[in-house]
Amino acid sequence: MRTITDTENAPDMQDAAASRPDYRPEALNLKNQLCFPLYACARETVKLYKPYLERVGLTYTQYITMMILWERRSVTAKELGQRLYLDSGTLTPLLKRMEAKGLLTRQRDPVDERSLRVTITEAGTALKERCLEIPYIMSENVKLTKEESETLYNILYKLLEE
């Protein structure tokens, strides 16, 4: 998904709207927005995770961070931020809290001192066992067929492609 982070580089909204032959004021109705059901579904999905994640002492963002560390054991903070779509202002306090819990360590990368390396600890690795059932529990909570889930998955990742 292409993002514009600098308002100076964003197209002028009035010029863009005026040049569209299909411009209609009802385009601003909430029911006509693709972004709203995506946003609402994401929030509701995260809410479904909450009771299961609380049992293991994680927030959703900590959980997805752990998933990457369970896969890779050690990554740079930059890579972690890119894979999770998190900026450093969100990632840094998240990693500090997780380090305080003993789930990971943060150290300057010996190969590149400018990079911060995030490495899973033994406690972080052990937590994986307690989380194994969460994906299965969550798949039972999603009211989609297997085929619908796969289609939605593919569409959402298509939207994320740059």
What's the CATH fold of domain 32-135? Arc Repressor Mutant, subunit A (1.10.10)
| Spatial contact of 65 and 98, defined as CB atoms under 8 Å apart | yes
Q: CA nearest 92: which of 122, 118, 125, 74?
A: 118
| Spatial contact of 66 and 53, defined as CB atoms under 8 Å apart | no
| Spatial contact of 90 and 70, defined as CB atoms under 8 Å apart | no
| The pLDDT of residue 32 | 87
Domain ranges of the chain: 32-135
| The pLDDT of residue 81 | 96
Each residue's pLDDT, cut to its tens digit, for the chain (162 residues) gives: 655 555 566 666 666 656 666 778 888 898 888 999 999 999 999 999 999 999 999 999 999 999 999 999 999 999 999 999 999 999 999 999 999 999 999 999 888 888 999 999 999 999 999 999 999 999 888 889 999 999 999 999 999 986
